[in-house]
Structure 1
């Protein structure tokens, strides 16, 4: 039977712990599971809640920090110092696993020794609301070559994983190291890419693997300044992967261009949409353009930059009212270009 070490970092989430731990220990038959709860000096009764759970189940260990060390140090303490099972999972105290998720992941990893980590579909649910219905029957799995999977992340400029749905081969986790403290908001995507540079990637088909709780305290940000910070962190993450794993990636220069182009386009798109929505007073348009220039010297050649310039010529006040006309004109030009290209192909 495969062994799985589950690390549950906790900061002021003691009221979620019982539900989280239940999903790990009571709903994962077929694997041998141990749990480490690390309370990062929570100012509430989270540590007491953790100790009460441990007193009822010998499979649970608890560590309590005397001072707050931050989430990256807490993650690495569990992953690098404590985890010793065949596989390891990092699960926030406010999330939970879908029944059978660990055995589905372990089955995939057992069958494919070249796979370094696997994931599946996460289900988001709103705090205070009911859990969505989860699929628990797998229809198989897919194994992606690690470098192909990593290259796709560079082309898309983003990750495709939430986090609680991932199970990692512990030996590989120890080989590549823990989360990068320089990436407090993009450490996840950098970690998955770093793992993929060394091993293949598995995906559980058909079944859902984890529940991700959405609430106001989530670390991910939705404000406009937070979105810009997210882009900056992603750029650092992609650069960090190339710095650490460039010798394993034959086309590292092209990967860098792909990621930087995509991130520049994201930034410029957010900038021109601020004009469409009348939000130029709150969206840092100038900083977004500066970020695009940092990513790509040829950013002015991108279609998103041309879209931004059209809106700037129209003006921030008028643009929300004229957006339908502008978009219609752009669409007409696009259709005209496609029509002209079709005639050129016919030799007319």
Structure 2
């Protein structure tokens, strides 16, 4: 029977901790050990962890005397404690679906080249009813590691649902822990590092867990007030770090660099454009998004999104919301074509 060590970092989620731990202990056809690490919550969460440990010998509880924050807590579990062949790191506010670990371990047993596998975890807006999780038939999908990495650079985003990721423990220790420089993208950097050394598995057809979305989610601060600029900056830093520190393991560094820069610049310009659509154009936050796009991608001003943004700016923040996005797209397309024609003339082509 396969063994999986499960690390559950907890900070003030004591009220949710039993749901998370029970979803782990109820997994069938696998042996599990659980380590709950309370990061000095100070609200009784550590007491809940100790109660869970006392009720089941498979559960161990630790309590930090001072808050070490999430990265140090993650690394304590996955690097210092985990020793089973496979490791899962799951936040105390998330849960596994029934059969999740059986599916993951079956996939990895059948495909020794797989460095880690993941699956879908529906987002649960806690003010809404709990989503119905898919069970039953599923199929394994295995992606070549380097091809998967290229897809991530092309999309410049993280498609991996962290509560579902099962990692080979020996490889986890080889690549090291989570990077404290990556405040909320340390998981993305970890998946990229792991994929440098193996293939990536995906459980298709059945949900592997559920991801709670609530006000105290760690990532929520990165999407308010600045129109998502911090999020874009952290993703850019993550991809830059991979190319700087691990470029010797990748065959196409210049292309990967071009892909992520172009994608992030496009996204920044789109966010700026949406601000104009909402009547919030001309603000410092919008200016900073545009600056980010230009600093990130040297061809930012040739992107389609640049032309449509300039149109929005020309008509002003009061008029832009009244214009249909379809109209803006059509007009922007004409402006881009006019610009291309002018460049051809200027270049003597």
Q: Counterpart in 2 of 1:183?
A: 182
Q: Distance in 2 between matches of 1:53 and 1:96?
A: 16
Q: Counterpart in 2 of 1:275?
A: 276
SS at match of 1:267: helix
- Pairs within 5 Å for 1:93-112: 93-112=92-111
Q: Counterpart in 1 of 2:7?
A: 7
Q: Counterpart in 1 of 2:248?
A: 247
Q: Counterpart in 1 of 2:155?
A: 156
TM-score, normalised relative to structure 1? 0.92
Runs of 4+ off more than 4 Å = 331-334
TM-score, normalised relative to structure 2? 0.92
5+ residue gaps, structure 1, are 338-348
5+ residue gaps, structure 2, are 339-349
Q: Distance in 2 between matches of 1:176 and 1:259?
A: 23
Q: Distance in 2 between matches of 1:92 and 1:332?
A: 45
RMSD: 1.9
> Residue 301 and residue 61 in structure 1: after superposition, are their counterparts in 2 closer, same or farther (change >3 A)?
same
> Residue 322 and residue 260 in structure 1: after superposition, are their counterparts in 2 closer, same or farther (change >3 A)?
same
Does residue 44 of the first structure (1) align with residue 77 of the second (2)? Answer: no
Q: Counterpart in 2 of 1:63?
A: 62
Residue deviations 1:63-105, cap 9 Å, x none? 1100000101100100100011111111100000000100110
Shift of 1:313: 1.2
> Residue 290 and residue 324 in structure 1: after superposition, are their counterparts in 2 closer, same or farther (change >3 A)?
closer
Aligned residue pairs total 335
Residue deviations 1:294-317, cap 9 Å, x none? 211221111111111111111112
Does residue 203 of the first structure (1) align with residue 202 of the second (2)? Answer: yes
Q: Distance in 1 between matches of 2:132 and 2:289?
A: 39
For the 8 Å contact 2:311–2:328, the answer to whether it is kept is: no
- Pairs within 5 Å for 1:69-108: 69-108=68-107
For the 8 Å contact 2:118–2:161, the answer to whether it is kept is: no
For the 8 Å contact 1:224–1:282, the answer to whether it is kept is: no
For the 8 Å contact 1:7–1:35, the answer to whether it is kept is: yes
Q: Distance in 1 between matches of 2:35 and 2:329?
A: 57
SS at match of 1:116: strand
- Pairs within 5 Å for 1:28-43: 28-43=27-42
For the 8 Å contact 2:307–2:332, the answer to whether it is kept is: no
Shift of 1:126: 2.1
Q: Distance in 1 between matches of 2:302 and 2:334?
A: 18
Q: Counterpart in 2 of 1:341?
A: none
Q: Counterpart in 2 of 1:345?
A: none
Shift of 1:293: 1.4
Shift of 1:227: 1.1
For the 8 Å contact 1:138–1:204, the answer to whether it is kept is: no
Shift of 1:325: 7.8
Shift of 1:324: 5.6
User: Does 45-54 or 325-334 show the bigger shift?
Assistant: 325-334
Q: Counterpart in 1 of 2:265?
A: 264
Residue deviations 1:28-76, cap 9 Å, x none? 1100100000000002000000001100101001111000001011001
User: Does 93-102 or 211-220 show the bigger shift?
Assistant: 211-220
> Residue 298 and residue 53 in structure 1: after superposition, are their counterparts in 2 closer, same or farther (change >3 A)?
same
Shift of 1:244: 2.2
Q: Distance in 2 between matches of 1:172 and 1:215?
A: 32
Residue deviations 1:142-190, cap 9 Å, x none? 1100000000000011111121011111111111111100001111111
Shift of 1:281: 6.2
